Structure 1
Amino acid sequence: MRKLLAVIGLAVPMLVVPAHAGASNRGTGIEVVSSPRPTLVTGGSALVRVDGTGVTVRVGRRDVTKAFVRQSDGSMLGLVDGLPLGGSVITATPRRGPAATVRVVNHPVTGPVFSGRQQVPFFCETTAFGLAPAAPPNCGAPPVVSFQYRTTRGTFAALPDPAIVPPDATVTTVDGRTVPYVVRIERGTIDRAVYEIAALHDGRAPSPTRAHNAWNRRLVYTFGGGCNVGYHQGATTGGVLNDVFLSQGYAVATSSLNVLDNNCNYVISAEVAMMVREHFIESYGPPAHTIGWGGSGGAIQQYDIADNYPGILDGIVPQISFPDAVTTGGTVGDCRLLNRYFTANPGYTDDQKEAVSGYGAWGSCVNWDLAFASRGNATEACPPAIPPQYLYHPTTNPGGIKCTTAEQLVTQLGRDPATGFARGYNDNVGVQYGLSALRAGQITAEQFVDINEKVGGYDVAGNVVAARTVADPLALTRSYRTGLVLAGTGGLATTPVLDLRAYTDALNDIHTRFWSFAVRQRMVDAFGPSGARGQAMLVTSPGSDRSRYALAAMDAWLTAIAADRRHGSDRARMLRNRPADLSDGCWTPAGERIAADLAWRGTGPCDTLYPSFADTRIAAGAPLRNDVLKCQLKPLTPHGFTAEQVSRLRAVFPDGVCDWSRPGVGYRGLAGVWQSY
């Protein structure tokens, strides 16, 4: 495997073979419960569960038995701290019988664990969260605990002393217990990110070995949207003060590097989420399950983490979703090119522009240009947290930070030594813009030729040029192998998905509905018809909030999976425990729930109410799964054009046009889950 990875040029990723967290012998067992696997312990501590009676627990020769507390299920739970960096062996020895052991590998709390070389320079923003100023590049600051309460006005307010609850505080019910609606919030730094953890306060400091009387033993992990280059800590998180979660007893966790606008790299996001979740478990105890939550870029992180680093999130609720940042980037770049073309060449109707773009509203494509096309340019959308003197300039600072999405993925893509830029995965060679519109008679042959003659592409710095964009061959292969392009063949095989979308296709919004079907198609291609069963898809009207429904449905699904002791694979267990009433469907603007099968461009009641459209690549003939970064080519065989137009088309497409029936250039299957760089 290492030879294969070297051949395709990956940044030395090693595939971590899935392993059981612990071992057991004749009734004595030991497992690490705070980390997805024992080789990924961080911060010098691990929450460990031991089964058996009369057991002595040691780390090496050090006796740590006193750290363990008997639990209601008969096991012992203990926080083992003081672990040195590197490997250690934890041993559980009963009075009689053989010992059980588990080898742990401890990594620094500042990271990295599996994400590879960290970005330098890296700028701190701890003070945005009320933490002490921090020193780069690790940006560490001591944790701070504060309290808030829910007022009778339905807002959160600061609470200086949690022992004194104001008269306007509300109460809530958790697992049948009425408790004060007082929230404990902890903020600190892990893996160079600022983390936040919130949970109802039960009057005592949290402990991983005691029952918490105001926590329902479930964790929601939130992710934030956007997409931008990193090199800074970030001043926002996915958010933790959420009444839907907290009022029901859920704990909530997140971090600044789980916001894609602060860090557009799902590998870093996965690592931070794993480490923050580990810290939460070592503070509060193991949750029954962890649910991912977030929209747009927050949905990208959920899909990509679930597929590539399974075990961090048990179930996910992506909202207004996209599959990944890389394949979405193709249409983003196209929209800038088309917007510039139509601006320079007036005379097209909005209907024609929509037909060429594939979107239900031309404004969606315009807004892709205005909001995110700049993220492909080295100088246009640099985060303000990065001092200007560190930024790229083609003449005065060619080695500076290049503010492109690809730069954030350089560990996976590699850097082109000839240009100094991250290897590029975008490509539009052979793409026949407006092909579907031409075939439908919505644009003329001359308009089709003119668009494709003049649409252009991008240079290495993301500037619009006359020539088409050409991807780096290594970037293509690495994008597929590392999961930068969502494969759907990894952890999504066993991870329940509830894809929730507020319908905005008619509102000039970028969060268009077909992307949910693109993800589903990848899952169906991976697993056959049952691929659709792993993803429940729900659509609602703009502005309608169905968070409570989605949270309850995912909780029921995960609870049923955990209770299932029947034989079968993890995938079979996931599929057969999908709640019977969790069908695909939608809510009408009046709030009526309709259970109905959903299909891209379908004719059912929900698909008629909330029609799905396409994007620039699908309008050019690409398949619904929309994962072709660079198309393979076939000969141009024009029909219905004049001889002069044919000559011009051959000049535009000298090597042929896209053959969408074949996989993309450089396509390889996912190299495996838990890749390390």
Structure 2
Amino acid sequence: MRSLLLSLLFGLSALLTALWLVLQFSSTPGERWREPNPVQAIAPAQAGPLLQITQHIRLTPRPDDPYPYPIALGEPGPLIPLYSGGLSYPLYCDFNRQGLSAPLIDNQQGYGVAVAQHGATTGYSKDCLHPVQLLYFYVSADGSISPYQQQQPAADDLLVRLELGTINRHFYYLLMPVQAAETTTRNSATLWNRKLIYQFYGGVGIGYRQGYLRPDRLIRDRLDELRQGFAVASASINKTSYGYNFLLAEDTASRVKRQFISLYGQPLYTLGIGGSGGGIAQYLLLQNHPDLLDGGIALYSYPDMLSQTLYALDCDLLHNYYYFGAADKGRWQSITQRQSVEGLSVSAAYSLKFEAQVWLAQLSSGIWPTLPDGATQCHNAWLGLSSLVHNPTQGKLKRLTTDEILPQVNWSYWGDMAGIYGKDQHGFGHSLWANNGVQYGLQAVKTGELSVAEFIALNSAVGSWQQQSQKQAERIAYLPFIDVPLWQSAFSRQNIISRTGNSPAARFSADQQALGRAYRYGQLFLGMTDKPILDLRHYLDPQLDMHHLQPSFSARERLIKRNGHADNQLIWVSHPDHTPLPQAIALMDQWLSQQQKPAQATDQCFAADGSVIAGGATVWQTGELCALTYPPLSNSRLQAGAPAHGLMFNCALISVDVAIARGDYLPLDMQPYAAQLQAVFPAGVCDYNLPDQALPAELAFPY
């Protein structure tokens, strides 16, 4: 009877799989998965100066900028970056999104996007340059925004001058509140309060595009501050949807600010504001370039992008184990069991994203579907990151080039950053993710949430990611008529190194020199700043949002280990129904204007009605009111025993015998399992008493 039931189940599986395969009418996306006017051909790279660093970028002087600011109206700004390297291609031009005319023609060889006049191609643009222009916007008292039509503004209305052009191939934006009489001039600023806000934005991008900001959103986001007389500056590369190269982001922001000063004069201070990747930008730029920003309001931030990828790229490895590798798959469908390893938030109130596709992926592999009793942040928030950031054959789902030149590009974050991190022997950008020696679920096995058998089985099978040169594109079928993508390669499992037979799956170590360059070039936050940082976020852990609370404390730990304190960082956390941003801006205005920390500048947490739950220097300590109300959780590396600061790419290794002898597994006695652990970790396990072995000695934490 049992064999008959199994036969029926597998027969159903085969039937459903066949039905799924029938639906695979195309592996090529339809028009909605393509950007308009794609890149037609890839131009040769153009050399440019790269800042040479021996210790840390913070200690390295920037070169003088020879460009004669201000950029003339009707002309594009500087093309070659000042110190962040040369020009690589392709670069997708994002002029369509802003209703701008086509970029300037710079070649007739077919490189870049086609530029047409009267329906006929007249040339091509590889660098996406646009001449500087002035635009004026009318903001009515109710906040509606429209192009200025020479109407006389009422008392509560606002006029905003926008200067828009390109610097380092990316759009820059300067916003200034003006009077009607000032719409005939370029640099009059009678309403300016002499303070500048530099706006940053977030998102996950891998480069290869110019990017854009919507002027109406930029105005709306900073409308209260514009009404108070603040000026606002930004650039499209300062939105991380278009890239995480913070050296290029800094180079461009420095030039944008230089352009602003050439027109309006030196501001009293420059305050950064921005969320997610825009918060990361502030942590890194405050560290790397002390003269660029005077302070920052980092919203929903992480201390940097790279250390976040360590646990984020673990997620798909763990998912692959739960659904395909585990002997007892049903056991791993408990979200509590998953949290013991992942550390991130879980909830029975949410369903699994794309659960039908996960279900089909299991069926197509001959596995009866096993879905969890809820959802996890590791899945709902981070699914797909391994394709976007980590896979050179995949990149953006929405295509920027023609299909013919798609295989010629290294579509990954690592490929975009190869100018800093370097390339491997196959010409691919070095991946800095690593998990050699990581004991997933170590804390859980010590507390009894995992059995020793489950702990050993997990670590034996979880595996790691393939080398960049070995990665394959995702297998995606686009359904006809509705153009919906079906991801057949769930969790990028075609790129995972899995166990074979009885041999444990291999782990991955990152290139030491590449990691050293990441540290020295300031792509990782080392706490090297004394500038004010207000780290502000809603408490989104229960919503399984990727902007979880723990990274605020990871940044704090790095400040403490670098400086002996974190007096320049405030952590404010609020219920999602209240956003205390006006209070944050007012406090930072006082702090920067007086150049002294105000007495009321303390950690705080806020209720939904805006009331302060608690405030003070100790409110985030264990058992205190803010920590009880909005508890920071964990991640897969912390659950594996890594330090709270999160900077551990290539850990020092010690043998299993040494780890057992010194009590790393207490209160468990792991001696009976020593041989099994040694088989899983033949090179040894992570010794977190020692720093990251890739951290240059001169950058070691003093505290």
Q: TM-score, normalised by structure 2?
A: 0.73
Summarize the Cα distance change of 1:600–1:330 in structure 2 as closer, same or farther, 3 Å threshold: farther
The amino acid across from 1:551 in the alignment is I
**Distance in 2 separating the partners of 1:560 and 1:144:** 36
1:108 Cα deviation after fit: 7.1
1:285 Cα deviation after fit: 2.2
Counterpart among 618, 634, 644 of residue 638 in structure 2: 618
Q: Is 1:508–2:537 an aligned residue pair?
A: no
The amino acid across from 2:195 in the alignment is R
Summarize the Cα distance change of 1:514–1:604 in structure 2 as closer, same or farther, 3 Å threshold: same
| Other-structure match for 2:363 | none
Counterpart among 626, 629, 639 of residue 606 in structure 1: 626
After superposition, the C-alpha distances for 1:312-368 in whole angstroms (9 at most, x for unaligned) are 111111111101111111011101111222223332221111111111326211134
After superposition, the C-alpha distances for 1:370-391 in whole angstroms (9 at most, x for unaligned) are 2523221113332746204476
- Identity in percent: 29
| Other-structure match for 2:488 | none
Deviates more, 1:610-619 or 1:475-484: 475-484
After superposition, the C-alpha distances for 1:519-572 in whole angstroms (9 at most, x for unaligned) are 11111111112xx101111111114221111111111111011xxxxxxxxxxx
Counterpart among 266, 269, 291 of residue 311 in structure 1: 291
Q: Is 1:142–2:117 an aligned residue pair?
A: no
**Distance in 2 separating the partners of 1:18 and 1:509:** 33
Counterpart among 316, 322, 345 of residue 360 in structure 1: 345
Summarize the Cα distance change of 1:506–1:208 in structure 2 as closer, same or farther, 3 Å threshold: same
**Distance in 1 separating the partners of 2:57 and 2:672:** 60
Q: Is 1:330–2:310 an aligned residue pair?
A: yes
Q: Is 1:373–2:360 an aligned residue pair?
A: no
| Other-structure match for 2:603 | 584
Summarize the Cα distance change of 1:610–1:665 in structure 2 as closer, same or farther, 3 Å threshold: same
| Other-structure match for 1:347 | 331
Count of residues in Structure 1 that have an aligned counterpart in Structure 2: 550
Summarize the Cα distance change of 1:16–1:188 in structure 2 as closer, same or farther, 3 Å threshold: farther
| Other-structure match for 1:542 | 576
Q: Is 1:496–2:532 an aligned residue pair?
A: yes
Counterpart among 459, 471, 475 of residue 452 in structure 1: 459
| Other-structure match for 1:115 | 84
**Distance in 2 separating the partners of 1:305 and 1:206:** 35
Preserved CA contact (<8 Å) 1:281 1:287: yes
**Distance in 2 separating the partners of 1:449 and 1:204:** 71
1:37 Cα deviation after fit: 8.6
**Distance in 2 separating the partners of 1:505 and 1:15:** 40
After superposition, the C-alpha distances for 1:432-466 in whole angstroms (9 at most, x for unaligned) are 00111111111111111111111111012352222
**Distance in 1 separating the partners of 2:78 and 2:437:** 47
Counterpart among 218, 231, 244 of residue 208 in structure 2: 231
| Other-structure match for 1:533 | 567
1:239 Cα deviation after fit: 2.9
After superposition, the C-alpha distances for 1:167-201 in whole angstroms (9 at most, x for unaligned) are xx561xxxxxxxx4112222211110011222211
Q: Is 1:627–2:627 an aligned residue pair?
A: no
| Other-structure match for 2:19 | none
1:392 Cα deviation after fit: 5.7
| Other-structure match for 1:664 | 692
**Distance in 1 separating the partners of 2:594 and 2:223:** 25
Deviates more, 1:237-246 or 1:532-541: 237-246
The amino acid across from 1:353 in the alignment is R
The amino acid across from 1:472 in the alignment is D
| Other-structure match for 1:477 | 516
**Distance in 2 separating the partners of 1:262 and 1:301:** 13
**Distance in 1 separating the partners of 2:542 and 2:584:** 24
Q: Secondary structure at the match of 2:593?
A: helix
Residues 75-224 of structure 1: pairs in structure 2 closer than 5 A: 109-134=78-103, 135=105, 136-161=125-150, 164-165=151-152, 171=156, 180-202=157-179, 203-205=181-183, 212-224=189-201
1:112 Cα deviation after fit: 1.0
After superposition, the C-alpha distances for 1:97-149 in whole angstroms (9 at most, x for unaligned) are xxxxxxxxxx9711310101222232222232233211433321122322222
**Distance in 2 separating the partners of 1:279 and 1:383:** 35
Counterpart among 401, 409, 412 of residue 387 in structure 1: 401
Q: Secondary structure at the match of 1:369?
A: coil
**Distance in 1 separating the partners of 2:167 and 2:524:** 27
1:39 Cα deviation after fit: 4.4
Preserved CA contact (<8 Å) 1:207 1:284: no
**Distance in 2 separating the partners of 1:645 and 1:220:** 58
The amino acid across from 1:387 in the alignment is T
Residues 267-278 of structure 1: pairs in structure 2 closer than 5 A: 267-278=247-258
Deviates more, 1:643-652 or 1:551-560: 643-652
Summarize the Cα distance change of 1:334–1:37 in structure 2 as closer, same or farther, 3 Å threshold: closer
**Distance in 2 separating the partners of 1:38 and 1:436:** 45
1:218 Cα deviation after fit: 1.0
| Other-structure match for 2:354 | none
Counterpart among 440, 443, 448 of residue 447 in structure 2: 440
Summarize the Cα distance change of 1:642–1:324 in structure 2 as closer, same or farther, 3 Å threshold: closer
1:608 Cα deviation after fit: 0.7
After superposition, the CA RMSD in angstroms is 2.9
Preserved CA contact (<8 Å) 1:503 1:539: yes
Q: Is 1:252–2:291 an aligned residue pair?
A: no
Q: Which has the higher helix share?
A: 2
Preserved CA contact (<8 Å) 1:421 1:460: no
Q: TM-score, normalised by structure 1?
A: 0.76
1:38 Cα deviation after fit: 9.1
Preserved CA contact (<8 Å) 1:336 1:368: no
1:634 Cα deviation after fit: 1.2
| Other-structure match for 2:683 | 655
1:651 Cα deviation after fit: 1.8
**Distance in 2 separating the partners of 1:468 and 1:506:** 32
| Other-structure match for 2:591 | 557
Preserved CA contact (<8 Å) 1:304 1:483: yes
Preserved CA contact (<8 Å) 2:134 2:162: yes
Preserved CA contact (<8 Å) 1:44 1:108: no
Summarize the Cα distance change of 1:224–1:160 in structure 2 as closer, same or farther, 3 Å threshold: same
| Other-structure match for 2:65 | 41
Summarize the Cα distance change of 1:515–1:306 in structure 2 as closer, same or farther, 3 Å threshold: same
Structure 2 unaligned blocks of 5 or more? 1-48, 106-124, 347-374, 472-494, 499-505
After superposition, the C-alpha distances for 1:198-232 in whole angstroms (9 at most, x for unaligned) are 2211231597986x221111111111112322121
Preserved CA contact (<8 Å) 1:501 1:540: yes
**Distance in 2 separating the partners of 1:407 and 1:480:** 18
Q: Which has the higher strand share?
A: 1
**Distance in 2 separating the partners of 1:336 and 1:607:** 29
Summarize the Cα distance change of 1:559–1:152 in structure 2 as closer, same or farther, 3 Å threshold: closer
Preserved CA contact (<8 Å) 1:228 1:403: no
Preserved CA contact (<8 Å) 1:413 1:475: yes
**Distance in 2 separating the partners of 1:614 and 1:524:** 19
Deviates more, 1:230-239 or 1:641-650: 641-650
